[in-house]
Amino acid sequence: MEVNNTKYKHQGIHVIASIFTIDKGILKVLLIKRKNKPFQGSWALTGGALYNDEDLEDGLRREIYEKTGLKNIELKLSNVFGKKDRSPVMRMVAITYIGMVDITKVKITTNTLKTSDAIWCPINEIPLLAYDHNEIIKDAITNLKELVLETNILKVFFPQGFTLPELQKIYEEILGKKLDRRNFRKKIISSKNIISTEQEENFEGKKKAKIYKFIEG
């Protein structure tokens, strides 16, 4: 690499999070309204420019806290967006992440130095967003569907454990389709992402169901 080559200059990195929740059975994503140019007054995903003395996740966590007040979100790497004209300011490569939070346990800051509002938006009502964030959120939803099948990303909703019918409800909302109960049970148990607590509880007034927990890691 020739450090003084002008073609290496005026480039930066965006770190961007698609932060999801389930609100009354509806999958939603966190959007913030920008105060500053470019895209002043537009809705956007949470994130911003990485400082040159930060690691990727450190920078993203700073941006999330500054613009929403949220802390300690578990993040999963999602994708990279690198079109040379995705930002009108300068060449900015976007590193994207996915996170999930329990809406009942967080409070969003809606007015900050760089944002004028924040909302949980249903994924089927997403407006025109700043930059290429519509493309990013579409990609994130696709990746989220894979993550719920392969990882313990949903553990944030069940710190005390869950029954399989409870878990199936969230899977169906994220995947956007009804799932066969027997096939779901077989797939989840064989995934090795959960473990039985050997306890039981009633689910929606029906017969007792076993309580499971996600395996940490």
| CATH code: domain of residue 73 | 3.90.79.10
My answer on whether 68 and 127 are in the same domain is: yes
Q: How far apart are CA 47 and CA 14, in angstroms?
A: 7
The fraction of the chain above a pLDDT of 70, given in percent, is 98
- Segment of 6-15, 52-61, 179-188 carrying the highest mean pLDDT: 52-61
Q: How far apart are CA 109 and CA 164, in angstroms?
A: 34
My answer on whether 92 and 183 are in the same domain is: no
Is 151 contained in some domain? no
* Domain limit, last residue, from 95, 112, 144: 144
Q: What is the pLDDT of residue 80?
A: 98
The predicted model gives 90-109 an average pLDDT of: 96
Tell me the pLDDT band of 203, cut-offs 50, 70 and 90: low
Q: Which residue has the tokens 């009633």?
A: 202
My answer on whether 70 and 168 are in the same domain is: no
Is 150 contained in some domain? no
pLDDT surpassing 90 at residue 189: no
Residue (of 215, 87, 78, 66) closest to 151 by Cα position = 215
Question: Whole-model pTM?
Answer: 0.92
My answer on whether 20 and 126 are in the same domain is: yes
CB neighbours of residue 102 within 10 Å: 13
Residue (of 147, 163, 172, 203) closest to 22 by Cα position = 172
My answer on whether 120 and 204 are in the same domain is: no
pLDDT surpassing 80 at residue 91: yes
Is 120 buried (19+), middle (13-18) or exposed (0-12) by CB count in 10 A? middle
* pLDDT single digits (tens) 46-79: 999 999 999 999 999 999 999 999 999 999 999 9
Buried/exposed 34-62: b ≥16 CB within 10 Å, e otherwise: beeeebeebbbbbbbbbeeebeeeebbbe
My answer on whether 123 and 21 are in the same domain is: yes
* pLDDT single digits (tens) 115-153: 999 999 999 999 999 999 999 999 999 999 999 988 889
My answer on whether 78 and 122 are in the same domain is: yes
Is 153 contained in some domain? no
The torsion angle over the Cα atoms of residues 190, 194, 196 and 197, rounded to 10 degrees, is 180
| CATH code: domain of residue 197 | 1.10.10.10
My answer on whether 91 and 128 are in the same domain is: yes
pLDDT surpassing 90 at residue 33: yes
My answer on whether 29 and 92 are in the same domain is: yes
Is 171 contained in some domain? yes
* Domain limit, last residue, from 91, 110, 144: 144
Tell me the pLDDT band of 206, cut-offs 50, 70 and 90: low
Q: What is the pLDDT of residue 149?
A: 84
DSSP 151: S
List the domain range (segments joined by +) for residue 36. 6-144
126 Cβ neighbours under 8 A, 6+ residues apart: 29, 31, 134, 137
Is 13 contained in some domain? yes
* Domain limit, last residue, from 87, 122, 144: 144
Q: Which of 16-25, 64-73, 180-189, 206-215 has the lowest mean pLDDT?
A: 206-215
CB neighbours of residue 196 within 10 Å: 12
Is 26 contained in some domain? yes
Q: Which of 14-18, 163-167, 213-217 has the lowest mean pLDDT?
A: 213-217
> Which amino acid, residue 188?
I
Residue (of 113, 87, 104) closest to 14 by Cα position = 87
My answer on whether 139 and 163 are in the same domain is: no
Tell me the pLDDT band of 102, cut-offs 50, 70 and 90: very high
* Count of the separate structural domains present in the chain: 2
My answer on whether 17 and 93 are in the same domain is: yes
My answer on whether 140 and 162 are in the same domain is: no
Across the chain, mean pLDDT equals 93
Q: What is the pLDDT of residue 145?
A: 94
Q: Which residue has the tokens 């309204």?
A: 33
